């Protein structure tokens, strides 16, 4: 078997490839890594194809002999790139895939931007059957179109597809910097959009942790997943007939409650909770389907997420990389 991984050098790809190569279930599989801006290390079972997804010749080269595709490549709020990568690139991949006699499964990594994460309200847990309600911006729009394109290739041509929909993906010290009031803040929206200048200056000079409240005045509940748990879900999906033609929410069992974050970090890191009102909505991305159908379960909850992030120490050769603007 031969697995094509797009976006192989990105945040998820860098964790996925070593995990895949170490998994005895895939001991006789090979990987083709399609890389554009960043390379990955070539090895005995890893071949590299360099180029753009928008180039048909590059896609054809990468797809040669491929049985399974894991499409991780994405761009965020980059209007000049979205059509080439998210639409043309995916279309070229799907066309090459459906035209190949070797093809077995096409896996798409999507995101909870498709359902608006904290920007759109839902009055019940968000399941795979919930309406798609993207938040404003080109990235969320492209993910809606990607999910739809993959599904329709299944309808039109019988493609065996699987879509994994993940919320905010955490690794290393990401969660710590998601709560940072300084210039190192990871993700968004920027504090300058929801905190006045004088208060923000005071928070930056002290040991504080933001405790967000939602539009209803309750503590905000936002969905996260650790990259290790996402990778384990991908591994559980590959070559799994129960995953064919299915969309799965891949998230922590419970959304992160910012009230609980404040209490946890006050006790464990001596940080003072600062309550901040926001216009955002609390939502719950329900992972029940993935637990039942894939036999998958996340291992990282809030306490483990905080423990890992606040105790992570970087070496000199491990610079903090923001793979995309949150």
DSSP 20-82: HHH-GGGTT-EEEEEESSS----BTTEEEEES-TT-HHHHHHHHTT-SEEEE-----S-HHHH
- Give the pLDDT mean for 237-261: 98
pLDDT recorded at residue 42? 74
More confident: 12 or 76: 12
pLDDT reading at 321 higher than 70: no
pLDDT recorded at residue 326? 34
More confident: 81 or 54: 54
pLDDT level of residue 85 (50, 70, 90 thresholds) = confident
As a whole number of angstroms, the distance between CA 158 and CA 156 comes to 6
Residue written as tokens 């759109």?
120
Q: Where in the chain is the domain with CATH 3.90.25?
A: 171-222+254-282+300-311
- In this predicted model, what pLDDT tens digit does every residue of 116-131 receive, in sequence order? 989 999 999 999 999 9
pLDDT recorded at residue 204? 93
- Give the pLDDT mean for 294-321: 91
Among 103-112, 151-160, 181-190, the minimum mean pLDDT is found in 181-190
Percent of the chain with pLDDT over 90: 81
Q: Is CATH 3.90.25 the classification given to domain 171-222+254-282+300-311?
A: yes
pLDDT recorded at residue 322? 62
Per-chain mean pLDDT for the chain: 93
Give the number of other CB atoms < 10 A from CB of residue 124. Answer: 9
CATH label, 2-169+223-249, candidates 3.20.80.10, 3.40.50.720, 3.20.20.70, 3.20.20.10: 3.40.50.720
- Give the pLDDT mean for 159-166: 98
CA distances from 229 to 187, 206, 239 (A): 20, 33, 18
**Contact yes or no for 163/106 (Cβ under 8 A):** no
- Give the pLDDT mean for 131-143: 92
pLDDT level of residue 325 (50, 70, 90 thresholds) = very low
- In this predicted model, what pLDDT tens digit does every residue of 6-33 receive, in sequence order? 999 889 999 999 999 999 999 999 999 9
Query: Quick one: DSSP state of residue 132?
Result: P
- In this predicted model, what pLDDT tens digit does every residue of 175-214 receive, in sequence order? 999 999 988 888 878 899 999 999 999 999 999 999 999 9
């Amino acid at each position: 078997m031969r697995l094509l991984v797009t976006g192989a050098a990105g945040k998820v790809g860098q964790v996925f490839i070593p995990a895949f190569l170490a998994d005895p279930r895939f001991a006789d599989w090979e990987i083709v890594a399609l890389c554009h801006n960043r390379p990955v290390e070539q090895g005995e079972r890893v071949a590299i194809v360099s180029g753009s997804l928008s180039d048909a010749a590059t896609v054809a080269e990468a797809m040669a002999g491929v049985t399974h595709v894991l499409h991780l490549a994405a761009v965020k709020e980059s209007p000049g790139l979205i059509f080439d990568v998210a639409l043309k690139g995916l279309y070229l991949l799907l066309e090459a895939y459906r035209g190949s006699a070797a093809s077995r499964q096409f896996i798409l990594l999507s995101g909870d931007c498709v359902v608006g994460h904290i920007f759109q309200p839902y009055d019940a847990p968000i399941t795979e059957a919930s309406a798609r309600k993207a938040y404003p911006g080109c990235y969320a729009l492209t993910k809606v179109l990607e999910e739809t394109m993959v599904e329709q290739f299944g309808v039109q041509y019988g493609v065996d597809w699987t879509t994994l929909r993940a919320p905010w993906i955490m690794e290393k010290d990401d969660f710590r910097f998601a709560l940072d009031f300084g210039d190192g803040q990871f993700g968004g929206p920027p504090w300058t959009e929801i905190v006045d200048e004088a208060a923000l200056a005071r928070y930056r000079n002290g040991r504080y942790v933001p405790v967000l409240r939602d539009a209803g005045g309750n503590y905000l509940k936002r969905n996260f997943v650790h990259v290790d748990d996402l990778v384990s879900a991908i591994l559980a999906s590959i070559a799994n007939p129960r995953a064919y033609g299915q969309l799965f929410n891949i998230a922590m069992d419970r959304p992160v409650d910012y009230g609980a974050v404040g209490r946890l970090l006050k006790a464990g890191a001596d940080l003072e909770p600062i309550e901040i009102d926001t216009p955002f909505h609390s939502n719950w991305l329900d992972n029940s389907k993935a637990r039942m159908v894939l036999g998958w379960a996340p291992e990282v909850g809030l306490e483990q997420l905080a423990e890992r992030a606040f105790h992570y120490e970087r070496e000199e050769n491990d610079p903090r990389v923001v793979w995309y603007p949150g």
